[in-house]
Amino acid sequence: MEINQLHGSSAREIKKEIDASIRRRAEPVNQEFLVKSQILEKLRPAMLKVAEEIKYAVLTSRPIIIRHHADADGITSAVAIERAILPLIREVGGNDAEYHFFKRSPSKAPFYEIQDITKDLTFALEDAARFGQKLPLILLMDNGSTEEDVPALLQAEAYGLDVIVVDHHHPDKVVDQYLLAHVNPAHAGGDFGITTGMLGFEIARMIRPEVGEEILHFPAISAVGDRSEAPEADAYIELVAERYTREELTEIALALDYESYWQRFSDGRGIINDILNLGNPNRHRRVIEILSKQARTAIEEQLRATLPNVRSITLPNGVLLNVIDVEKYAHKFTFPPPGKTSGEIHDHYCKEHEGRPIVTIGYGPDFAVIRSKGVLLNIPEMVRELRDEIVGAGVTGGGHLVVGSIKFVEGKRRDVLERLAEKIGAART
């Protein structure tokens, strides 16, 4: 039997048929969410789109890179997708395919940094040249939604990389033009209370429904780790109440934060899987006991050093503002880092002054970390205003509406912090 190569329109027609067949196989499972949520229902079409594109990439042997924020929320969201697709990758490409077609990398910043895209592009181009691999699909989880992501996204676009974002940071519209798909609760009238861990869990179930049982506790871990007060958080926590108490979920989230700090830029798959109870239950319990105890000891030592150096004032709107120079009065280059330190100081004052509107700022030479409770802030908007109002300060930053960070040039620190305090003092409570 003679086999002839097709050319022109005949070849294109066959390719279309093959692609259509693969697309049919890549169709996600459109099933009920495990909790009732109007926000999730509104996000369903976008989530199905993400699930389909991920599955399509697997079926076409396209490498997938997951970039995620290096905290409990980012890790649970990314590992949920990882657990959903690794069996599919092995099914398509063989037992060792996961080492060639999948990579999960944590990012210290809650946005896609230039150093991240530089690494991803460099390795992708090398793999394409050496092994003939396709350029990867990049999935950003718990980051990717803000102006700060644009420089990296521009580089990805220049090389024809498709980028998908699943995030719950307050989004900027400018990023959408660079994305293949974007899931964010803000697009459906929600906020950061719908964590990325919840979104990643439900998308993972759309890709491979049977994964749901082993990762059922992931949304609850992300909820307590990100201090979500959304009704969906309570619902996901209730789902696993027979397996994990809230305290146990909190210990797991803390262990993830602690381990990810020391892992730096490694995915730490084996240890992370043990922390998430995806292997030996006895080892899981022992690892959680060790890591959470070490983390709490480090936090207590940090608080002993920092709390005596916190300055507290009451602003005109009644907000209790707590400020500390974490560069001078906190242990450096160890856990907890400045952001976590500021959060722990904030939690201390929230417990001490329960019911009061409170804002805590931990600042250094060229940055400030903001935590708040009971105050109607819009940190991304404040960043834009500070950038326009203080010439030469080079203000950048963002985050959630009421939790975030700001960067600026060191010489303008006093101007930025004073203006920031004025804006907080004028906010509604």
> Is residue 264 located within the same domain as residue 363?
no
Whether residue 302 is contained in a domain is answered as: no
Residue 253 belongs to domain with CATH number: 3.90.1640.30
257 and 362 in a single domain? The answer is no
Q: What is the pLDDT of residue 5?
A: 80
DSSP 166-226: E--SPP-GGGGGG-SEEE-GGGGT--TTS-HHHHHHHHHHHH-GGGGGTTTTHHHHHHHHT
56 in any annotated domain: yes
User: How much of the chain, in percent, has pLDDT values that exceed 70?
Assistant: 100
Is the domain of 173 the same as that of 281?
A: yes
pLDDT tens track for 279-316: 999 999 999 999 999 999 999 999 999 999 999 999 99
Q: Are 208 and 314 members of one domain?
A: no
Query: Of 135, 134, 119, 171, whose CA–CA distance to 150 is shortest?
Result: 171
Residues 187 and 107 in one domain: yes
Question: At 6, is the pLDDT very low, low, confident or very high (cuts 50, 70, 90)?
Answer: confident
Mean pLDDT confidence for 112-127: 96
Determine, yes or no, domain membership for 297. Answer: no
370 C-beta neighbours (distance < 10 Å), count? 25
The overall average pLDDT reported for the chain is 95
Q: What is the pLDDT confidence band of residue 417, given thresholds at 50, 70 and 90?
A: very high
2 domain residue, yes or no: no
Whether residue 132 is contained in a domain is answered as yes
Q: Is residue 298 part of a domain?
A: no
Please indicate, yes or no, whether residues 12 and 116 belong to a single structural domain of this protein: yes
From 240, 260, 291, give the residue that closes a domain. Answer: 291
Q: Are residues 273 and 361 in the same domain?
A: no
Let me know whether 147 and 267 are in one domain.
Answer: yes
Instruction: Dump pLDDT digits (tens) for 15-60.
Output: 888 889 999 999 999 999 999 999 999 999 999 999 999 999 999 9
Does residue 77 sit within a domain? yes
Q: Which two tokens stand for residue 240?
A: 């696993």
Q: Is residue 367 part of a domain?
A: yes
Number of compact structural domains in the chain: 2
Give the pLDDT score at 318: 95
Whether residues 217 and 281 share a domain: the answer is: yes
Residue predicted with more confidence, 56 or 14? 56
Is residue 11 over pLDDT 80? Answer: no
Eight-class DSSP state of 62: -
Do both 262 and 335 map to the same domain? Answer: no
> Which among 347, 342, 345 has a CA at the least distance from the CA of 369?
342
Provide the residue range defining the domain that includes 230: 8-291
The CATH number of residue 385's host domain is 3.10.310.40
Check whether residue 168 and residue 42 sit in a common domain: yes
**pLDDT for residue 234 is more than 70:** yes
Residue 307, judged by CB atoms within 10 A of its CB (0-12, 13-18, 19+), counts as middle
pLDDT in tens, 313-327: 999 999 999 999 999
What integer pLDDT is reported at residue 136 of this predicted model? 98
Q: 166 forms bridges with which residues in the sheet?
A: 141, 183
Q: Do 226 and 334 share a structural domain?
A: no
Asked whether residue 2 carries a pLDDT value surpassing 80, the answer given is no
pLDDT at 341: 97
pLDDT band at 1, cuts 50/70/90? low
pLDDT, one tens digit per residue, over 88-117 is: 999 999 989 999 999 999 998 889 999 999
The pTM score is 0.94
What mean pLDDT do residues 5-24 have?
85
What is the distance between the alpha carbons of residues 82 and 64, in angstroms, rounded to a whole number? Answer: 10
Is the CB of residue 184 less than 8 Å from the CB of residue 25?
no
Q: In the beta sheet, which residues pair with residue 405? A: 369, 398
**What mean pLDDT do residues 224-250 have?**
97
Exposed / middle / buried, residue 119 (Cβ in 10 Å: 0-12, 13-18, 19+): middle
Q: How confident is the model at residue 429 (pLDDT cuts 50, 70, 90)?
A: confident
HSE (CB half, 13 Å, CA atoms) of 94? 4
Give pLDDT tens digits for 68-95: 999 999 999 999 999 999 999 999 999 8
